[in-house]
């Protein structure tokens, strides 16, 4: 049962129709989140991680739209549901903690009212029951003084508290799937560790399946059972987290892992940057999008269309014509 996916994304593509052209933020992404596990989506800024998360819930903001693909929650194809049905699903079966706190919290409602709102929208409970349940949910998110927090307004919360409140709202109904978009970025390490711990506890208690979106490989390493690396809207490597960390096969993953700050390094040193810049998603080339930055490129990369994600060993895939082997020369740093 554990191996059975609860969420399946098949051939998902999405774009933003801008005056500069179609920004292809998600390109033919297929992924499965296994029941009770954590799948991380990682990659540089602009890789399309948030767009995947929003597309799953059909929440891409204008001028974004889904151009292809299916998203199954168990057997239900979310993308074919009416907006009303998606609203019913959201919060109860699948919930998202948004990267942008402005999307996640209403500035003019107290925290308690916001948690109660999601409860009363889905459950036939009295006002009092909703209030009790909301205090329970806040306590569950590690607030020792839930009544006080419930009375406060978003502007009165620290970054860490606001993030916890957003997680409390998203998990108030114990959804089966939680999409957590950068749940700890911009927080100091102590608060980050506490929030990751809360997420782990939620998972252990309720068997929540988590799609964790994070550009932070330290967070990915700590939290994820499996990981997908995105580049220019596509998944370029997928595998169980340990395997990908130990044996990255795509040159981009390798470069990302090399640019990660290590615990034994002087943390004040600047990170080595991956050479070159991420491509313009409105003008993606036919060939491999990593080509201009890739130290492993050969002729085939210049003449053939972008490589497809291909399984290299059971459960480990990469989209590259020249998958590297551990310990290969230049990883592509300046
Ligand atoms: N509302 C929008 N209008 C136009 N383009 C957008 C919009 N939102 C996102 N994009 C573009 O879509 C692409 C993917 O963005 P997305 O936010 O999904 O990336 P991300 O991997 O989540 O990045 P980050 O790590 O910075 O959060 C980017 O090129 C971005 O500029
Ligand atoms: S296909 Fe070629 S250019 Fe693309 S990542 Fe692999 S080696 Fe580099
Ligand atoms: Mg994002």
Residues 235 and 270 both lie in one domain:
yes
| pTM value surpassing 0.85 | yes
> Does a structural domain hold residue 138?
yes
Residues 151 and 132 both lie in one domain:
yes
Residues 121 and 2 both lie in one domain:
no
Which of 287, 320, 331, 332 gets mutated to test ligand 2 (max ligand atoms within 8 A of its CB)?
A: 320
Domain extent for 289: 1-82+177-192+207-334
Residue 259 banded pLDDT, cuts 50, 70, 90: low
pLDDT in tens, 322-333: 998 755 544 444
Whole-angstrom Cα distance, residue 135 to residue 59?
28
Residue 99 banded pLDDT, cuts 50, 70, 90: confident
CA atoms within 13 A on the CB side of 41: 32
What pairs with residue 14 in β-bridges?
26, 66
The 3-state DSSP class for residue 80 equals: helix
Q: Which atom of ligand 1 is nearest to the CA of 54?
A: 18
> Does a structural domain hold residue 88?
no
CB 303: neighbour CB atoms within 10 A?
A: 8
Q: Give one word for 45, left, alpha or beta, with left for phi > 0 and alpha for psi -120 to 50.
A: beta
Q: What is the mean pLDDT of residues 195-220?
A: 94
Residue 57 pLDDT exceeds 80: yes
Residues 154 and 220 both lie in one domain:
no
Q: How many domains does the chain have?
A: 2
Q: To the nearest whole number, what is the mean pLDDT of the chain?
A: 90
The 5-18 sheet, strands edge to edge: 21-34, 5-18, 64-73, 76-77
Q: What pLDDT sits at residue 274?
A: 80
Which of 22, 44, 48 gets mutated to test ligand 1 (max ligand atoms within 8 A of its CB)?
A: 48
Q: Which ligand is nearest to the CA of 43?
A: 1
3 state SS for 37-75: CEEEEECCCCCCHHHHHHHHCCCCCCCEEEEEEEEEECC
Residues lining ligand 2, Cβ inside 6 A: 251, 288, 290-291, 294, 296-297, 301, 307, 320-322
Residue 269 banded pLDDT, cuts 50, 70, 90: very low
């Amino acid at each position: 049962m554990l191996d059975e996916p609860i969420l399946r994304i098949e051939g998902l593509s999405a774009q933003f129709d801008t005056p500069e052209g179609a920004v292809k933020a998600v390109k033919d992404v297929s992924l499965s989140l296994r029941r009770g596990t954590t799948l991380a989506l990682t990659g540089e800024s602009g890789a399309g991680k948030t767009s995947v998360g929003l597309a799953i819930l059909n929440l891409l903001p204008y001028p974004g739209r889904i151009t292809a693909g299916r998203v199954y929650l168990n057997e239900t194809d979310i993308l074919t549901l009416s907006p009303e049905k998606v609203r019913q699903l959201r919060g109860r079966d699948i919930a998202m903690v948004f990267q942008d706190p402005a999307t996640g919290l209403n500035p003019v409602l107290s925290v308690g009212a916001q948690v109660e709102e999601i409860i009363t929208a889905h459950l036939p409970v009295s006002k009092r029951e909703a209030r009790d349940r909301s205090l329970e949910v806040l306590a569950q998110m590690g607030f020792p003084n839930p009544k006080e927090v419930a009375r406060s307004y978003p502007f009165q919360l620290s970054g860490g508290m606001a993030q916890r409140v957003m997680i409390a709202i998203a998990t108030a109904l114990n959804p089966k799937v939680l999409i957590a978009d950068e749940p700890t970025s911009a927080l100091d390490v102590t608060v980050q560790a506490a929030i990751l711990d809360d997420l782990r506890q939620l998972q252990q208690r309720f068997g929540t399946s988590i799609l964790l979106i994070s550009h932070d490989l330290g967070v990915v390493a700590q939290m994820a059972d499996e990981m997908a690396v995105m580049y220019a809207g596509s998944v370029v490597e997928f595998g169980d987290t340990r395997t990908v960390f130990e044996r990255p096969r795509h040159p981009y993953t390798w470069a990302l892992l090399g640019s990660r700050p290590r615990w034994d390094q002087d943390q004040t040193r600047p990170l080595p940057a991956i050479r070159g810049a991420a491509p313009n998603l409105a003008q993606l080339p036919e060939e491999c999008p990593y080509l201009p930055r890739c130290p492993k490129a050969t002729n085939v990369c210049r003449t053939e269309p972008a490589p497809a994600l291909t399984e290299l060993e059971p459960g480990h895939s990469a989209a590259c014509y020249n998958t590297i082997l551990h310990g290969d020369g230049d990883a592509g740093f300046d």
